[in-house]
Structure 1
């Protein structure tokens, strides 16, 4: 979601004039926060999930489904019924990029008891019910990563046509501005990124090459002034708007650590897990986009694995070092701040740097990497946090809960056993490339550490893996399948789920919670082994096996309608899908036992 300040947005030329001002004061704001809370210790474990939802509208008579552009009014009603009436309401709602999207989180963060794992799914079900209760008879809420016909003719309800010739935010050939949330942040982001680039966004995704498609496949465009023809690639689908990225949905988890050093340790360790769940006119030559994997580790243990070339702002780095920031954190911030601010409001140019952080967040929140290191907001009780960002949203609340619980348990195991997943960042990047290939879960091979206990018993603050005299140069990693990484393979790797199960055996967990966790880990285990399909695989097979599919890589209105209808039925529990979800273990009728802290 990012920073949602209110005010009068500046255009790109105006924003550009203040870019150095934003960077200068953003660093001052960060230093003020850091110096106030750098020694803060013993914050309790808190965590929470963020689910992004799509609003959809069925036209049953004509067998079609469209994205429903009612996000703002639905959000307004949800907030009025919820947090604005009751500060302890169990859900919170926020806007997202698409005007057909909303973001839901638990009303309060989850804590450190094992029983909290048993409330995640119920809260997600409540969120879905709250939205669904506000929709008209043909409306629904769907957790799907990408709407299959996003950008196709008349994909919105109400119908709006793109206006590439007229002045607007995106000037897209496919994505009308009405599909962008009306909050000024989103349209300003869209317009300013386009103006900064001097051209539209250019996304080229390889087309699914089926038997009845021309080779090479070359797209032709109406109302093109030549820009699309120049930007498109053979055998690719061309997209020209931010909505094709930020208009998709994802699942995220944020953790509060007990200290800044623990947060940095978690940031590094989780960065290696990200792949397995999965310009010009600039002052700097930047090797990655804002939407990518991390560029440097933050902990002492990770320093030797920072093998990527890191472009930094030398002046900012010097300022941070003189302000008491260590080398690793200083280069991380100095790297983030090579970016330009993309949105700025006239009323928020001059700020109280001691008590506000908008200029820092302006840069921080427009770097959309797989992990995000998050300082506490000024003058708040919130601690140092890390955000795990690479996951695709799943169709059902059960699946989304499973992925969330798996990741949270993994953090508990990492901290409890002091595990070490680190490997050269260049290998993490290679893993992300593999992760984006079709059927990577079953066919991809990923670099992963062979001996995650090798560091002995490292201390997070001092990183004793180096202090204990261990020769880090002898550390080894190997190519492994997702099955091996998740489930383990004798003589190769113990497996993340077996390690989690070992951890759980030493915890006191009530029977009902244990059963829920068992079901969640069973889903992860079977998807990793290939026994169950991933959502992406299931969607591809549904389309490929549809009687109307012509082996031409086209998802027609009727195919899309049938697909989304099936997704909706599965999400509502009206249709079993054992190949996707499997058969859950039934819960006991009565359960007892004490709650235990994680």
Structure 2
């Protein structure tokens, strides 16, 4: 959760005076990072790690209630404090590290040491490590409080959803629904909450469509009339929308949980290619991991949390969003502007002219400036959104470049001053300079008074202040700055050029979270091995992000994707590398083997797959650069495209396992690892095909079929308890508690397999 400095955070009205200081010094630090690492960091190992966020839920079976526990955050300090060895050693001895998150009821856990992407064993060890995180955290808690991997707590923002109870009267968020007591105690978090509101000039406003049922009143009747803060009236001035659930606090988004994966590339060029190649998959895997159909006690007409968290940290003012202000509110919000600038706006027509043509252009040139001369621009997206531009693969020397400038086809403003400074430096080409110049249109949200002055040759907190508060679907992560006297070999032991994959929703079980993490990393390895061309216009990715929010989008919708014939992948090259490859690796049999030791039965003689029918829905006729495909076709393949599963299986067969003994004893460690990886991929494959429902689909079904549900789109306290109990049982993966529940969740055959193979 960003940069956690120690010290005194400045209120927005003080910190905004230092905005340009942070940007200027942050860019100096970035330039120094590139000087230190851009050319010297080569041939780094493919290390990776995952981040999992838990919610501490107090379950009272006697009272039939489930509440978010906001008074147990002491376990974070205990598990991270070497002076408390009884707790600390539990974590370190299990290779687990715990970190604070936005919510006081949340904990984040990662491996203490990264996994080795070249080690087959580490792809199965990750599940053990994830399981240990839950076990260690549970050991610090009473049995009534469970660390659950819920994407969203179903009744967050409703009356009495915390333990102990707290009232929504806090000055940081000024929320009508969320008490400040849910916010992490570290000074950064309430300051972040307040400064977003103060910069924005009003509270955040998130509106989700209510799921329509036969008794549904398409109105959010939970909005109270209150006059504690002047912002209380915003819901009735236009912040809330008819037919939508209204949420007004950062906690609704940053208080949700997700799964993130970070991978270290060999060098900066490989990291850029991997970043670009993964971009088209961000909405597809968001859809495939969907787990959030309930917000603030309402069943909503979408399946994921992305737009909620996007709105929750949207610090744009009215003028930057290009919308009319509420009556009596300032266009400029909390920006520091003089009267001349305000008069200039009036001359432009009261703000109506703020657009890409009349007032600003793609480089941010404008007559509207803050007091410190930063241009005031139209900003199309929140700082938590999908990426705005590719980094370009032109420096990736292993192949010809696939990138074309026209793929960066959306309006994406930049900080022209930053761009000019970076482009004049030999380490930055246009695309890299553009990427960072776009990030640096943002203001720092939290500045610590003790960290205003830094040594730009060895510290990079000012850069990270901006970098870490641009929460996009992917994050391109440079190394940190290190002392100049460090040797090249010493630097190699420090984190290098990394790519963070951020859109995944958290899953209920350790098995699923391991499966999604492993899938992303194996896909990344396969991309680097086979070097496909997955570029599509950024505008198509943005459209896909909207599609991914829809109910059951993984089943009902199609996504823009590179035309399968243009991906630089041939179906015939992946024949035989389906999920049955694992069975053939482990088991002896009479299957016919081709000269390259792959199964050919079931495939026509020319190597194409005769059993796979076209499910792409691609545009017929003239070959187009991109077409619309089902998730099933993208994951499992069709007549045009081998699918991600086959890419991954062939990568495993030819890179991770080429020298391993085939047909090992079925009870051997190697056989168990192979079959576990097969099971991870099978979960992804069957979620894509619809054989296994997404968590969002399963949760919605549990609501709609529960006798406590009144067909009014509302989740009562008792209904929420039932849902949490179901989630708790599923999380344990213990079919003996409720075998039918697991069958409903995973499907009968898959549930039976997991129960038989999960200790």
TM-score clears 0.5: yes
**In the alignment, does 2:233 pair up with 1:226?**
yes
- The aligned counterpart of 2:125 is 119
Equivalent pair of 1:272/1:422 in contact (CA under 8 Å): yes
Offset at residue 136 of structure 1 (A): 1.2
- Mapping of 1:52-451 within 5 angstroms? 52-80=53-81, 81=85, 89-111=94-116, 112-163=118-169, 168-215=171-218, 220-223=223-226, 225-230=232-237, 231-278=239-286, 279-280=316-317, 281=332, 283-299=376-392, 300=394, 301-304=402-405, 305-324=407-426, 325-379=428-482, 381-451=494-564
Deviations 1:41-91 (A, max 9, x none): 000110000000000001222211000013530111222346679866510
**In the alignment, does 2:745 pair up with 1:580?**
yes
Q: Give the RMSD, CA atoms, in angstroms.
A: 2.0
The match for 1:480 among 621, 625, 629 is: 629
- The aligned counterpart of 2:690 is 530
Equivalent pair of 2:46/2:265 in contact (CA under 8 Å): yes
Structure 1, gaps ≥5 residues long? 458-472, 590-598
Bigger mean CA deviation after superposition, 271-280 or 438-447: 271-280
CA distance in 1, matches of 2:71, 2:499: 32
CA distance in 1, matches of 2:30, 2:424: 13
Bigger mean CA deviation after superposition, 518-527 or 303-312: 303-312
CA distance in 1, matches of 2:542, 2:2: 25
CA distance in 2, matches of 1:511, 1:424: 42
Equivalent pair of 2:58/2:163 in contact (CA under 8 Å): yes
- The aligned counterpart of 1:463 is none
CA distance in 2, matches of 1:65, 1:87: 31
| 3-state SS, counterpart of residue 53 of structure 2 | strand
| 3-state SS, counterpart of residue 381 of structure 2 | coil
Between structure 1 and structure 2, the one with the greater Rg is: 2
Equivalent pair of 1:218/1:233 in contact (CA under 8 Å): no
Offset at residue 512 of structure 1 (A): 2.0
CA distance in 2, matches of 1:155, 1:70: 13
TM-score (structure 2 length as normaliser):
0.73
CA distance in 2, matches of 1:365, 1:502: 35
Offset at residue 573 of structure 1 (A): 2.5
TM-score (structure 1 length as normaliser):
0.92
Equivalent pair of 2:176/2:248 in contact (CA under 8 Å): yes
Equivalent pair of 1:512/1:587 in contact (CA under 8 Å): no
- The aligned counterpart of 1:503 is 651
| 3-state SS, counterpart of residue 404 of structure 1 | helix
- The aligned counterpart of 2:309 is none
Offset at residue 388 of structure 1 (A): 0.1
Equivalent pair of 1:69/1:156 in contact (CA under 8 Å): yes
CA distance in 1, matches of 2:121, 2:544: 34
Deviations 1:434-478 (A, max 9, x none): 000111010011011123764589xxxxxxxxxxxxxxx976211
CA distance in 2, matches of 1:378, 1:71: 35
Deviations 1:148-206 (A, max 9, x none): 00000011111101116xxx110101100000000111111100001111111111111
